[in-house]
Structure 1
């Protein structure tokens, strides 16, 4: 970054999560359709590099701009994206597992501990009340729902089946409780500001990320509950497609990566159902959803690289004349506008 740009926003963990989930999608596709294994290795390597860069940059932010990072963690919307730090680490652990079991297990253990501590802290703050209705967005899923589901999938991969079931229950019931809050806000309050509309992309994730977890914890032909989760995920996808012109009222910002986790998880769930013996419409939809996901990720990647090359990826640095605390506050407010 140059002297005119600020530090990495915590919401950039969404980019890491999207990249890692996309690499996992390719891993399943290679296994199902015998696609070239080299593509999966390349995707895995690229995703892990993105994760490490974001993780290192965010750690550097706490070392050099701690005041700004603390203010960011106090914001009711932006702070939720901190939960994607351990989520990305859980996803990384699953990608590393076939190559380095001990390292993957260490990443899993650390990420589980961090996601529980961070989730309890952020979710507990929600219970204390006082959040303005205009700041209630699907980002409130991130501290509890996303980490619990991904931890459940990771636990299953490491052979901790019962632990995975516990995490699945925490994620599922938190999702159902929080969704009613989001729908109430949408129904009775003013429309989301343009800057926060990209966070609606998170809405796609719970049913399909949870569906991937459920499939990881069960065996045999996908059952009624698996198809119910997929059906709701497909409906959410159609709903977001209908809202897309409204969501895209502002130009492209990194906040659009909020769509990436759900976009990757939806075809991942479908491919795993086909792998387990599902036929009919699900089998026909699998290649279509896989191609659509690849197109969306290509668009997100190209747009993000364009912002990077144009020096517009990072938010503007705080004004040098302001005090440290005031500068940090202004930076976070600006980031809400840019990242959503």
Structure 2
């Protein structure tokens, strides 16, 4: 008989790795308010409260997934070698890296420790996922924007990496992320334009297109000590155009049926918001200020709405169930 316990045996076996996207979204949200605190005089307690909630959620999800790994190893292996879910494995290492960034102002020592866990994990997941792509006969329809997740993680590494390790380590991860961003963007656009459209539950992953150039912009500024050159502006404006394009296509987003993939909206929106706050820090003009405030409002609304729908789905026991059910 099934109980209301959140992680009973049945639910634990079907605990999806995609839930780490919640940590990605909340961590990005916390970093937004850390930047807003420094640059726009937002309340420090907003940042601290969001960071606390993010940490609790991360510990709950990470603990549950480690228990799944211990008790249902085959179920984890099945996700690890799934053409779509395998990309979300890197969300684990990305969660460590984003928490590292989020904690940098609050607890620098903890931040560096989290980075030293996240960076090697990120490299390992990238190698494993790319090997999986090469050694398996995947179909065009398997490609989707979620494939960017293992790549985006590499671009995150330099943000704290410039403080934690020699600069060539950051350059290595940045180069890896930027190169495979171009490769995967080409593959994914070919799939979207010339083949069947994405399944409805994967439509929110379109927003992941924003993340590589937006995070790349922030990472590049960290590596170059704030250099705003043509390459930096290229990255920012590609991210900004991608956001505008996706907002222009709002009608394709179905808000009737909730999927965990809705959290794909959160982190990319946070990434472009952080990038815009960095532009505000550099240029201090009306456009960057208004853009920053607008994006903070948009990100807050989206994160709040998706969090509310997630809580509703949890209470309705529609999370952590077999996909066949």
Would you call these one fold, judging by a TM-score over 0.5?
A: yes
1:8 aligns with 2:15: yes
User: In terms of mean alpha carbon deviation, does 178-187 or 281-290 score higher?
Assistant: 281-290
**Alignment CA distance shift 1:257-1:227 (3 Å):** same
Aligned length, in residue pairs: 318
1:170 aligns with 2:176: yes
Q: Report what 1:72 is aligned to.
A: 79
Q: Report what 2:298 is aligned to.
A: 292
Post-superposition shift, 1:50? Answer: 1.3
Post-superposition shift, 1:153? Answer: 1.2
Report the TM-score when normalising by structure 2: 0.91
Any gaps of 5 or more consecutive residues in structure 1? 317-330, 336-340
Q: Report what 1:141 is aligned to.
A: 148
Name the CA distance, whole Å, in 2 between partners of 1:44 and 1:179.
Answer: 32
1:254 aligns with 2:260: yes
- Choose from 309, 320, 323 the match for 1:315: 320
Q: Once superposed, what is the RMSD of the aligned Cα atoms?
A: 2.0
Name the CA distance, whole Å, in 2 between partners of 1:224 and 1:277.
Answer: 15
1:228 aligns with 2:234: yes
- Choose from 25, 36, 41 the match for 1:34: 41
Name the CA distance, whole Å, in 2 between partners of 1:245 and 1:157.
Answer: 43
**Alignment CA distance shift 1:235-1:299 (3 Å):** same
Q: SS where residue 283 of structure 2 aligns?
A: coil
TM-superposition CA deviations, 1:134-167 (whole Å, max 9, x none): 1110111112x21111112120243643322221
**Alignment CA distance shift 1:291-1:100 (3 Å):** closer
Report the TM-score when normalising by structure 1: 0.87
Contact 1:148 1:168 in 2 (8 A): yes
Q: SS where residue 103 of structure 1 aligns?
A: helix
- Choose from 190, 201, 205 the match for 1:184: 190
Name the CA distance, whole Å, in 2 between partners of 1:298 and 1:99.
Answer: 23
Post-superposition shift, 1:334? Answer: 4.2
User: In terms of mean alpha carbon deviation, does 268-277 or 245-254 score higher?
Assistant: 245-254
Name the CA distance, whole Å, in 1 between partners of 2:289 and 2:187.
Answer: 34
**Alignment CA distance shift 1:168-1:20 (3 Å):** same
Post-superposition shift, 1:278? Answer: 4.7
Name the CA distance, whole Å, in 2 between partners of 1:20 and 1:248.
Answer: 25
Q: Report what 2:201 is aligned to.
A: 195
Q: Report what 2:158 is aligned to.
A: 152
Name the CA distance, whole Å, in 2 between partners of 1:334 and 1:279.
Answer: 53
Name the CA distance, whole Å, in 1 between partners of 2:22 and 2:141.
Answer: 24
In the TM superposition, 1:53-72 aligns within 5 A as 53-72=60-79
TM-superposition CA deviations, 1:52-92 (whole Å, max 9, x none): 11111111110111111111111110110010100110111
Post-superposition shift, 1:235? Answer: 1.5
Q: Report what 1:305 is aligned to.
A: 311
Any gaps of 5 or more consecutive residues in structure 2? 1-5
TM-superposition CA deviations, 1:86-115 (whole Å, max 9, x none): 011011122333444443322211211111
Contact 1:221 1:278 in 2 (8 A): no
TM-superposition CA deviations, 1:162-217 (whole Å, max 9, x none): 32222111111110111000111112211122233232221221111111111222
Name the CA distance, whole Å, in 1 between partners of 2:54 and 2:309.
Answer: 17
Name the CA distance, whole Å, in 2 between partners of 1:156 and 1:334.
Answer: 45
**Alignment CA distance shift 1:219-1:114 (3 Å):** closer
Post-superposition shift, 1:281? Answer: 2.5
Q: Report what 2:51 is aligned to.
A: 44
Name the CA distance, whole Å, in 2 between partners of 1:10 and 1:150.
Answer: 20
